[in-house]
Amino acid sequence: LDERDQTALDDLLEPLHGADIADILEQISSAERGTLIALWSGHIDGEILSELDESLREEVLDALPAEDVAEAVRELDTDDVVDLIENLDDDDQAVAIMGALNEADRFAVERALSYPEYSAGRLMQREVVVAPSFWTVGQAIDFLRTAEELPEQFYHVILIDPRMRPVGHVTLGKILSTSRDTPLSEIEEESFRTFDATDSETEVAYAFNQYHLISAAVVDEDDRLLGVITIDDAIRILDEEAEEDILRLAGVDAEESISNRTLGVVRRRFPWLFVNLITAILASIVISQFEGIITEIVALAVLMPIIASMGGNAGTQSLTVAVRALATRDLTGANVWRVIRREVIAGGINGMIFAALMAAVGVIWFGSPMLGVVIAVAMVINLVVAGLAGVGIPVVLEKAGIDPALASGAFVTTVTDVVGFFAFLGLAALWLI
């Protein structure tokens, strides 16, 4: 690229899948991206655009000639166009994209955009394959052979009634393996289910994963067919949600990506660090209540981070398991008390093991059996509280309608820090003087 060798670049990119080209664009620097786009004789097609990280799409769209954008957009299914437009901050680009669409697609995209963000209506594509439910296999095949515009990928023929309401669906495999005179209604799949356009994408992704769906119809408030959602959309959502949980548990903004610029990273990380500062100051206030005894027994200052750190870690363990179980709906009202009891007991048992270890450390290092007892008791208390808070806090947040992954970390470590310092220093004040 540095040598501006067009032939070499073409040879390199030619055999690659759009997703891989998008990855390359994401990994090079902004200046290199400009050079690559200008130099490459192939063009950035619709597929590359949809695979590209959202934070880079505007930059790449800006670098492209208008006719390339128009052509790229026309190749896409309407759901991908919706995905493209909804993530653009730049209105001019959105208008240009809409202008490139034919009337039917533009209408479908506008309609999809009228549904709330993160809804099934935004995920679906307009391109569907339908057949009246009274048709036979032969009629369906003849229809498909003569149909002008079929979606690039489809897995089911959706059966509709005269009012365009989907009543079932048939897999292509069944159509191909059944004799021509069989009515379609006889080979319907049991697994048929539809989504409302207003259902949340989380709902949709959960159902695809839980019931191993490949595609599903989306209907409007009158149960009329609007479009279909396919497995690739569901995978994208599942992926995004797992990613969100991972990042949020670590206090990283869920929108952050590896291609963000430095200042974006600073801005996205700041809020959580600020929350952490507040909670850390809270813990410091607890410590400051015991300044007197720390001056007398400086070993307390040496050992207290251990108690806090163990509590924080045990709390994070319980928390992570609970947040994921909530996300995958494995933790429900039916088993929440059993899980909380389990975590508390597990915390108690591990607490006792580490209490023994730490008591030994206290005795050997500082030669004070009583200090050992204080550490041991504080350790058990803190690990039990860690188990309780680790499960209890996300469950309460979920009930309150707050994403448990988002806020639990700060709460749980605050609880374990405060309880840990208070138990350790408080017991020291009681027993060591």
Nearest-angstrom CA–CA distance, 123 and 94 = 18
Query: Taking Cα atoms as reference points, which of 186, 226, 371 lies closest to residue 297?
Result: 371
Nearest-angstrom CA–CA distance, 183 and 303 = 77
Q: With the C-alpha atoms ordered 400, 401, 402, 405, is the resulting torsion angle positive or negative?
A: positive
Residue with smaller CB distance to its own copies, 91 or 148: 148
Smallest gap from residue 353 Cβ to its own copies (A): 7
Residue with smaller CB distance to its own copies, 52 or 100: 52
Nearest-angstrom CA–CA distance, 378 and 420 = 7
Smallest gap from residue 263 Cβ to its own copies (A): 8
Residue with smaller CB distance to its own copies, 18 or 200: 18
Residue with smaller CB distance to its own copies, 54 or 220: 54
Phi, psi of 227 (to 5 degrees): 175, -170
* The Cα angle at residue 34 between residues 106 and 82, in degrees rounded to 5: 20
Residue with smaller CB distance to its own copies, 75 or 220: 75
Smallest gap from residue 295 Cβ to its own copies (A): 5
Tokens of 242: 């797992």
Smallest gap from residue 61 Cβ to its own copies (A): 20
CB-based contacts of 204, cutoff 8 Å, min separation 6: 120, 123, 195, 216, 229, 234, 237
Smallest gap from residue 45 Cβ to its own copies (A): 13
Tokens of 226: 């609007």
Q: Hey, is 157 helix, strand or coil?
A: strand
Residue with smaller CB distance to its own copies, 13 or 141: 141
CB-based contacts of 416, cutoff 8 Å, min separation 6: 308, 311, 312, 314, 315, 382, 385, 386, 389
Smallest gap from residue 338 Cβ to its own copies (A): 6
Residue with smaller CB distance to its own copies, 115 or 194: 194
Residue with smaller CB distance to its own copies, 27 or 114: 27
Nearest-angstrom CA–CA distance, 206 and 391 = 22
* The Cα angle at residue 147 between residues 104 and 143, in degrees rounded to 5: 130
Residue with smaller CB distance to its own copies, 114 or 153: 153
Smallest gap from residue 416 Cβ to its own copies (A): 11
Q: With the C-alpha atoms ordered 129, 131, 137, 140, is the resulting torsion angle positive or negative?
A: negative
Smallest gap from residue 165 Cβ to its own copies (A): 21
Please say whether the beta carbons of 389 and 415 come within 8 A.
yes
Tokens of 422: 């208070």
Residue with smaller CB distance to its own copies, 113 or 363: 363
Nearest-angstrom CA–CA distance, 234 and 199 = 13
Nearest-angstrom CA–CA distance, 308 and 375 = 11
Smallest gap from residue 96 Cβ to its own copies (A): 26
Smallest gap from residue 162 Cβ to its own copies (A): 24
- Give one DSSP letter per residue of 167-186, joined into a string: EEEEEHHHHHTS-TTSBGGG
Number of other residues whose CB lies within 10 A of the CB of residue 119 = 20
